[in-house]
Every structure is written in structure tokens, then in C-alpha cells.
Amino acid sequence: MSCTTVLAGKNATNDHSTMIARTDDGHFDVKRIHVVEPEHQPKTYKSVLSHVRIDLPDHPMRYTASPNVDPKEGIWAATGINAANVGMTATETITSNPRVLAADPLVTLQKAKGNQKEIPGGIGEEDFVVLVLPYIHSAREGVRRLASLLEQYGTYESNGIAFNDENEIWWLETIGGHHWMARKVPDDAVVINPNQFGMDAFDLDDAFGEQKAHMCSSDLREFIRDNHLDLNQNGVFNPRDIFGSHRDRDHIYNTPRAWFMGRYLTPYSHTWDGPNAEFHPESDNIPWALVPDRKVAAEDISYLLSGHYQGTPYNPYTSHDTGLRGTYRSIGINRTGVTSICQIRSDVPNDIKGIEWICFGSTTFSAWLPLYTNVPQMPDYLRKVTTDVSTSNFFWSSRLIDAMADKCYADSIQDIERYQTAVAVRGRQLVREYDRKIAETGNLSLAEEANRKLAQMAREETEKALNKILEISSTHMKNGFRLADN
């Protein structure tokens, strides 16, 4: 599944929080957000796609999830934060190459044929959050649990997975069917990862030693050596070159997104435009992690994940023909189901450290709503979603706004920005108010009350925006005609 990931270390953010964020770009998947209580977590998990069965540990924790509303292809929980204030987003589909996949093939379902019994496949994006998030108490522990599952069951796809807690962010990338490597995100950095194998540096000595900031498969050195995978020159170990891809298609679909995000994050410390640019949209060497020129907030991450090359000749919505518009794949696209920012804060009581910013549909036009995660249930406006179009929930209302605003971008974008700003401002005001109330009273049940008010506010602002965008869209219908037009 094509997605875009942004990870922000605690010293790179305005409030010393850690943030992991990802667009979940399926095929117009209908999504909702809900809370999974321990009694609703399965004892034995079975994957719909790969048919693998896995017994799960006892004593799962409460966690949030954003599953598919239609379960025919599995849960696809996508993202969430658990009761231990650990966040997870899974997965960023990444690239590999034939040398890696030949040496450690992906583990795919082999259906029964003749006298041969079915052989289950490995685990993948459908499964990861449910298998891991309810059982981990730190980001580092998330890497270890997922790694053990990958080594035992394998995977049928190449993926990147992020974990965060109050202090650390870890990023794990799969290598073939069973191998993996993981790196702690530098505290002062922001990671940008668009559907490619991302890590461009890795300390094997640390991974096989103290594991301060690097972990990997126990036989990774031998795997590289025995399969002649090392393409690096002059002793510089670049895992992107070894395990990733360098396809022409990457230069249209993937690297331009990294260029747009890097350009936003470091406009002064790097040169991104002009004949002397260090990096251009098709560069293979755009850094995986950058120290931003200024601290970033949740709004900066939402801007990045809403990106469509605004301010560049590649913007598909530009009003004049640059000869380049629409050349590259935008970050904010039409088929996104859900996008989230899992934020773990350090300046509030432990029970409310987790905030999940949720955006349904195309991020270019939809609003981002902050929610407390350590609650027994999400409001109906967010969790009661069906596969039928309806204005009674945040998902479908967002999708309706997206579809109409796209057709009349120039006339509607001002109202879209007002809508997005209103939800962001009012959302932050409510979170500030309830942070204070909960800190003063110690009453955690107020978090559920806050979410109800946040959902009601989102509904009010979304209905106002829907009314306005429908009016604008209606005036642009091709069958418009008035008597005065004669």
C-alpha cells in the first residue's frame, strides 16, 4: 500500500513530544477510529490474506486502531496508541531489489493444489498493529516483538514500521522475507520516508554490540556477505543501496515526495531549487533524516502530509501551465483512507500523554482532529461508520468535501483553509482546556468528555464547510444557465 511517513524526534518538536505520522493510501478504503479493549483482543489471530494463525500473549492492553470498516480483507488497523503511551504506524510499503528477494524470498500463501495442503503465508500490513501494539511498553520493545514475529513467520511484502514512546522513535524496515533492520530516530531529526527503503546509514557495530540506536537480524552480516549484496564503495555502509531500489518509477512516484518534504524542513541549510541545487525531485540521495531549520509542530507534519508540490512548478492545481504540473505523485492524494499523527507528550500527566491527530480522506482538503487515546470508547461521529455514504460521520463528510473541492480548487481553497484552521484552533483550545482540568482533578474520565466535545466541534465545522463547498461546486456545474445568459 503506497503511503508517506514522517517521524519527528523529541528535540525536533516545539513541545518536546515525539510524533510518528503516515498517510494510509489504500484504494478509497472506508476507515474509522475506535478503541480495542483487552477483552475484545483475540486470543488467536488469523490473517485473512495469508491464512497464518498466531497465538497471542495474555494480558493485552487497551489501544486505538483505525481499521477498515469492511472486514473482507482483514482488519488493517493502520495506526494507534496503547495504554502504555506507545504509538505504532504500520505500514509504509517500501521497495527492494531482485538480489535481496532471491536470497530471502517473501513468504506468500500457497493454496492447496491436488494432494498438496495449503501453506500459509507470512504476516503483513493487514496484521502488524493487532499482533504487536497491545503487548509493548516502549518503542524499542515494539521493534523486538515485531522482529521476533518476522523471523518466525516471515512477511509477504516489504514494509517500514514506526514506533514511538515519550522519549524514543524507532523505525524498522523489512529485508526480504525474514530479515530486518531498525534504527532509533535521532532526537533532533525529522525522518521523511516515501514508499522506498529509507535508511541511508546504519552502524552494524552498534547493532551487534550495545544496540544504543541500531538493531538488526542476528545473521545480517553473513546474509550480506554470502549473497554478495554489498554495493557500497570505500567502506561506507548505505543500506538504501544494498536493500533498496533505483527504478525509473521511483523518480516519478517516490523521491519527489522526499524532495518536497526536505525542501520545507530545511529551506536554508540545504539548496533544493535552481541549477546549483544539492537535491532535485529525482535525486536518489535525499537524506532519510534531516535536522529541521526550525522546530516542527503537528501542524507542520499535517502540512507535509497534505503536500501537492504547492509553491513549485509541479503543483497539479496551479492555475497556469508550467509544462510540469502533475508530473510527480503528490503526498495528499485522492485515495487516502486515514492519516494520523501519533503524538506522545512529556508535559502532561501520564494517563493523557497520547494524542492522536486523525484526518480522513484526502489530506489536501480534510481537517485534522486531535483526540485523547486512553479512553474506553471513541465518539459515534468517529467510530460509527458504514460502507454507505453518509454525512452523519467524519469519514464520509470529509470524503464528500474532498471530491467537490478538488473540482473547483481555486474557488474553494480559501474556504477549505478556513475550515482546516477552525478545526485545528478549536481542537487545540479544547485539548489545552482538558489538559488543565485533568491535571487539576486527576479525573481521567474527562478525556472521554473532551473527545465528545472535539467530535461535536468537528461535526459543526465540517457541516459548515460541506454547505459552503457544495454551494461553490454547484455554481461550477456545466449545465448552469440563466435567462440573462441569452
Residues acting as catalytic residues: 3
Dist. CA 17–CA 166, nearest whole Å: 7
Sign of CA dihedral 428, 430, 433, 439: negative
The answer to whether residues 63 and 81 touch, using CB atoms and an 8 Å cutoff, is yes
Residues with Cβ within 8 Å of residue 451, at least 6 apart in sequence: 371, 372, 375, 378, 379
